[in-house]
Amino acid sequence: MREKRGFTLIELMIVVAIVIIVAVVAVPGVLQTAKSDNQQKAISALKAYYDAQYQFKDRGLKKRADNPSISLFARPFSELSRYGEQNLGLVSPEFAAAVDAHHGFNGYYFADDPRVPPGSESVFGLFAVPCLYGKTGDFVYFIDGAGKIHEKDPGAQINTPSTHFTGANHPRDPAATGWVTVQ
């Protein structure tokens, strides 16, 4: 009688085929779950940003030079985490650093509204753009000063908010198409 020492080629091929089938079935579901999770985190981050801006303004930390009775919003974004010597903690330092440095955070880039004049601290808006469209997220999100979150599926043409969401393509423009208010 012959002694068996290992697997036959057929047994190995069956195992490899089973692993490939499981991967083909499971991987798209895992990727879709991760993408959906990133999108929900982007919406949550926009809400946190909105709340933090109003908390910052309500604390009266920053005042207008020509009228000190008027409180201003935080700008740059990092002021929501740390203002001067005060550690505010209104947003996480990681989120603030990612936004100010234009690095991805949970699969999204966050960028100031390009229609808000640089240095303006009386209005705000923030975009969330997928780092890799179709892989880390399918929608661009925007929160305005009223706390409304808008979304748009821009297709694969997106790059940055400043190149694709100005002018008539901006969610604040009444003639803009494709934007849907989600919350």
State pLDDT tens for residues 11-21: 999 999 999 99
Higher pLDDT, 137 or 172: 137
**Predicted pLDDT at 120:** 72
Q: What is the pLDDT of residue 181?
A: 86
pLDDT, position 134: 85
pLDDT at 175: 67
Chain-centroid distance of CA 131 in Å reads 8
Of the candidates 181, 160, 66, 53, the one whose C-alpha atom is nearest the C-alpha of residue 113 is 160
- Range 33-36, long-range pairs (CB < 8 A, 24+ positions): 34/107, 34/136, 35/107, 35/135, 35/136, 35/137, 35/138
- pLDDT(3) > 80: no
Task: Yes or no: say if 56 and 79 are a contact pair by the CB < 8 Å rule.
Answer: yes
Q: How confident is the model at residue 65 (pLDDT cuts 50, 70, 90)?
A: confident
> Which of the pair, 112 or 107, is modelled with greater confidence?
107
